[in-house]
Structure formats: C-alpha cells, structure tokens
Amino acid sequence: MTAERATPLAAVILAAGQGTRMKSALIKVLHPLAGRQMIRHVLLAVQGVGADRIVCVVGYQREQVQDALDVIPGIEFAVQEDQLGTGHALLCASGSLEGFEGDVLVCYGDTPLLTRHTLHEVVRVHRAHDAPATLLVARLDDPTGYGRVVLDDGGGVLRIVEQKDADEPTRAIRLINTGVYCFSWKTVGPLLDRLSTDNAQGEWYLTDVMQMLAEAGTPARSVLLEDPQELMGINDRAQLAEAEAVLRDRIRRRLMREGVTFMSPESTLVDADVQIGSDTVIYPGVVIEGVSSVGRESVIGPFTRIADSHVGRGVELKGWNLIANTTVPNGSIVQPYVRQGAD
C-alpha cells in the first residue's frame, strides 16, 4: 500500500472522436446515461482509483466537452486536431505530462460501464509487478472486431494485432484488447515518438508499444477482465440503450443492498446522482432523476416523477405525483395527482 501512495497516478481519457454512428449533432461522450453524461461515468471511475491528474484528449466539439467538464477540479485538456489513431491521441496528451514520472492510466471516454474496482485492479497488478505497462484484456466467445492479444509462455504480452492486420491463426485468438492500459510513463512516454503508420488503417497504433516492450525484453503484464460487460463501448443508439439498462440495474441493486425496497425494480428508473434512505418503499413506474434525494422511511406511490427535488423523511406520496425543483418536508402526505414545484 505504501508503494501505491508514493507513486503518482495520472489518467488520460481519450474523447476526441465524433461518434458518427450515433447519428447525432452531439458528440458521443456527452450523451446522457442514467442522468450523467457518458464521459462523467468514466471520470468518476478514474477519480475513484485516486488519479492525481486527469488529462482529457478532445477534438471534435472540444469546446462543448471542455464546457461540460471544466467544473471538475484538476482536469486538464489536450487537443487532437486530427484523429490519427490511439497512439497519436496519447502523444497529444504527452505535452501535459512532460516531466511526469508516475504511472498513467489510459481509457476511453465512451466506456461508461468500466468500474472503479476493475481500474484499481489494473493499477494494483501493474505496481505489484513493477511492470513497464499493464493491459486490461478480456476473453470473448466472439472476438470479431477487436485487437487480438498474443502472450508469451510466461503470460507477458508479446504484441496486439488489430483484426484488419491479423492472419487467420491470429484471428482465432479469443483474448482481446480492451483499450485500457496502465503505463510507467518514464518508460512508455519516449516510445510514442517511435510509432509508425505502417498498418492497414494508416494510423498510429498505441498497441504497437506492447511489441516494442517485448522486443526490449520487458513485456507488459495483462489483467483479465472479470465481467466482459464492462467492456461495452457505445457506438450507436442501440448500444446506448443497452448501457443505460446496465447502469440503472446497478443503481437499483446498490440501493436495495442499502435498504431500499423496490416493488417492481425493472419498472423504476433512478438516476446515478439520486440518494434514497433506508426503509423507503418505491412503487412501480416511479422515476427519480437529476440531483434528487428521498429520506428514510418514505413511501413513493406508483407512477410518480421526482426531479431535482428533496423529499424528506417519512413522506408519503400517494401516487401519480409530479415533484420538481422543490422540497417536500419531513412527514408530509401528498395526495394523488398533486404537482409540487412544477410550472
């Protein structure tokens, strides 16, 4: 534990791409999921690991992304004018990390299901083995589309081969690259200038760093992702809906473990920033959104919507209520169909 505290940790979040398959005027990473912009889920996971500095690589709609994230203390921005690959994106961030001698955690801004637990495990293994780099990998039944990870006999990473560059034996490998790395920056930072575009896509692959390290006799380590669902990246509206369902299920399960009763969990929507006290009962069809809270021992009747409001302790909302931008005092009883605080 002492070593972890002594070594600085920075994080780089890659968020420069447009996300054209979303068919939206809004950049992909700013689409909301469970009441939070997609990239904020990633930021909170990274902050939960203890990153001292966070560099967000922006490009498309960079002003909008910066405006959305500027309120977060300690965040820095690096600009990738042209999207020339993941290696180029990290190279764009390297100016912000000049002189940094700690570890750098790298992940994507469109992977909102990644958890703090998983990222912590990547950092822990990286430091436990004093590795030059550590890669989060997953084993998939269908690895189509992902870069394949080739390991040596000792479990070190020999190379990562993108699907377009892979031959048939390599495509048969089921171990894939998730795009999450932890780097010893003093080792990996200088390697970025050696990347080339000699590949099928003509891009600077960050994955080529793995082969450079293996050829130098210091191969990267790998960490196997326990739940491949965390790997889900968001490319279109269908995947956005799938990720939304996963996040909302996580929220409900966490609240139930904390003592909240949901009469029909699958029909209840609760945003990520909502707080609910124990021994509160939530009836079917309830929506609680924004920065809202519900006190202990309350009853929220069916088909009620609570938005950016504080509902006190021991409150009973009879049902079909709209509570918006207001406070409901402790012990209140609100009859059906009553609107409070809504225009």
116-128 and 38-49 are packed helices; what angle lies between their axes, rounded to 10 degrees?
40
Question: What confidence tens digit (pLDDT) does each residue in 167-197 have?
Answer: 999 999 999 999 999 999 999 999 999 998 8
Confidence of residue 2 (pLDDT cuts 50, 70, 90): very low
pLDDT over 90 for what percent of the chain? Answer: 87
Do residues 250 and 230 make contact, with C-beta atoms less than 8 angstroms apart? no
pLDDT value of residue 202: 80
State the average pLDDT over residues 289-314.
98
Q: Which domains does the chain have, with CATH numbers?
A: 2-231 (3.90.550.10), 258-340 (2.160.10.10)
- The predicted-structure confidence for 227-275, as pLDDT tens digits, reads as follows 999 998 899 999 999 999 999 999 999 999 999 999 999 999 999 999 9
Provide mean pLDDT across the span 155-162: 93
Residues in the chain: 343
Distance separating alpha carbons of residues 155 and 309, to the nearest angstrom: 52
Distance CA 51, CA 64 (A): 23
Q: What is the pLDDT of residue 71?
A: 79
- Evaluate if residue 4 carries a pLDDT over 50: no
Which pLDDT value is given to residue 1? 39
Residue 343 — very low, low, confident or very high, per pLDDT cuts 50/70/90?
Answer: low
Name every residue whose Cβ is closer than 8 Å to that of residue 38 and which is 6 or more positions away in sequence: 28, 29, 30, 31, 32, 109, 110, 112, 234
Give me the mean pLDDT over the 82-109 stretch. Answer: 94
What secondary structure does DSSP assign to 131-162, as a single string?
Answer: -SEEEEEEE-S--TTSPEEEE-TTS-EEEEE-
How far apart are alpha carbons 20 and 26 in whole angstroms?
A: 10
Q: What is the pLDDT of residues 19-74, one digit of tens each?
A: 888 999 999 999 999 999 999 999 999 999 999 899 999 999 999 999 999 878 77
